[in-house]
Amino acid sequence: MISVSTSIALLVSYLYGSIPTAIWIGKAFYGIDVREYGSGNAGATNTFRILGKKAGIPVLLIDILKGYTATNLVYFVGNYVPGSVQFANFQLVLGITAVIGHIFPVFAGFRGGKGIATLFGMILAVHPAASAISSAVFVVALILTNYVSLSSMIASFMFPVNIILFFNETTTRTQLLFAISVCILVMFTHQKNIERLLKGKESKVNLFKKKVKSQ
């Protein structure tokens, strides 16, 4: 039977994930619901595309923090021992619950984003070292291509590869299966992006390019 503290932790995790950062910031400061523009997703990438860096950066950071904070609720629930299989498994459950909250947010009519930033916050909490390498891969890929979607897919593919090559001895079987599932999930949620990439129609996000002042 699930304990009361476990149930509360799962509920809080879902509510964390349900915070519709992109929607609230878009409406509060720009009078825009980002779901009505661009890709239609309430996530950081679409916010960058529609509202620019001033809105996109806070959305990205808060969405990452949602996943990271929710996953680390494990430290405040029950008698889970850090490093144990039970600890690692419940971390994953909490993180996944937050990602589900982001995709189906109760505060925004269950119409959210793809959950990539929240998922990153989750893997950052679950496996900091492997996620740090994937983050570096993402940044390099983004600088070289300016495609957030492609960079996300490459980074997600590298996550299980990093664990197998560098951290296999310190990783539980559940964490390894999760890492592989992350890669599959990201590929699945980016099917339309893959189609646009193949057709040369995917939008680029020039995060590091300065705007040219009009004459």
In this prediction, residue 1 carries a pLDDT of 64
In this prediction, residue 214 carries a pLDDT of 35
Q: What is the mean pLDDT of each run of 10 residues along the chain (215 residues)?
A: 85 96 96 92 90 93 96 87 86 94 95 90 91 92 90 92 84 86 87 90 69 37
In this prediction, residue 168 carries a pLDDT of 79
Q: Per the domain annotation, does 121 fall within a domain?
A: no
Q: Indicate if 84 and 145 belong to the same structural domain.
A: no
Q: Which structural domain, as residue segments, surrounds residue 194?
A: 127-206
In this prediction, residue 154 carries a pLDDT of 94
Q: Count structural domains, the chain.
A: 2
Give the span between the Cα atoms of 66 and 40, in whole angstroms.
21
In this prediction, residue 94 carries a pLDDT of 95
Task: Locate 204 and state its tokens.
Answer: 């680029």
Q: Per the domain annotation, does 79 fall within a domain?
A: yes
Which amino acid makes up residue 197? L
Q: Indicate if 77 and 37 belong to the same structural domain.
A: yes
Q: Indicate if 101 and 184 belong to the same structural domain.
A: no
